């Protein structure tokens, strides 16, 4: 008779390594993902699709790509009012108003929040 002996096998069960580091910058969307992204609100979505999307959903236009945190986060730090001003007045490669004649400043805020992937503040 052979007697088996179990020598304590230890499973270091770390399938998930949750890092405690500061939040990593999420990867930029792929070209297909960037084209498919649209705001949840249907009215804002139609403004986005008729104006901002042409430039902001295509990499290489010089416009910060929709949901690309690496491109948006430094701009977001200027504050939303400054960003809205830049859209209204035009900013370097971007035409004044971002080609949206009917957008109100609130619409621009919503569009920028969407593109920068910054959620609405809690009421
Ligand atoms: C004709 C192309 C074009 C359209 C249309 C366009 N943008 Fe832009 N946008 C740009 C480019 C190019 C830049 C980058 C300018 C730079 O930093 O050189 C930019 C930058 C921005 C910025 C960052 C400004 C800053 O201070 O860094 C915001 C915010 C923005 N766009 C919002 C919008 C919104 C909202 C719309 C739709 C209403 C829109 N854009 C439509 C081309 C466009």
User: Which of 45, 53, 54, 64 has the most ligand 1 atoms within 8 A of CB, as the residue to mutate?
Assistant: 64
What percent of the chain has a predicted confidence (pLDDT) above 70? 82
- Write down the pLDDT at residue 106: 96
- Write down the pLDDT at residue 40: 96
Residue with tokens 């070209």: 31
- Write down the pLDDT at residue 113: 98
Q: Which tokens belong to 92?
A: 């370097």
Atom of ligand 1 nearest to the CA of 103: 38
Q: Tell me, using a 6 A CB cutoff, whether residue 95 lines ligand 1.
A: yes
Q: What is the mean pLDDT of residues 22-38?
A: 92
Q: Tell me, using a 6 A CB cutoff, whether residue 100 lines ligand 1.
A: yes
- Write down the pLDDT at residue 12: 35
- Could you report the per-residue pLDDT of 54-109, keeping only the tens digit for each? 999 999 999 999 999 999 999 999 999 999 999 999 999 999 999 999 999 999 99
For atom 37 of ligand 1, the residue with the nearest CA is: 52
Contacts of 87 (CB under 8 A, 6+ apart): 94, 97, 98, 108, 112
- Write down the pLDDT at residue 10: 35
Q: Tell me, using a 6 A CB cutoff, whether residue 110 lines ligand 1.
A: no
Q: Using an 8 Å Cβ cutoff, are 64 and 58 in contact?
A: no
Contacts of 38 (CB under 8 A, 6+ apart): 45, 48, 49
């Amino acid at each position: 008779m052979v007697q088996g002996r179990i020598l304590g096998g230890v499973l270091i069960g770390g399938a998930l390594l949750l890092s405690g580091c500061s939040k990593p910058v999420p990867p930029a969307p792929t070209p297909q993902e960037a084209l498919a992204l649209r705001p949840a609100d249907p009215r804002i979505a139609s403004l986005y699709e008729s104006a901002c999307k042409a430039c902001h959903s295509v990499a290489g236009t010089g416009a910060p790509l929709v949901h690309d945190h690496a491109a948006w986060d430094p701009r977001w730090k200027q504050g939303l009012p400054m960003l809205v001003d830049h859209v209204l007045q035009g900013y370097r490669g971007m035409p004044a108003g971002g080609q949206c004649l009917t957008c109100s400043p609130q619409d621009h805020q919503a569009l920028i929040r969407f593109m920068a992937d910054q959620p609405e503040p809690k009421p």
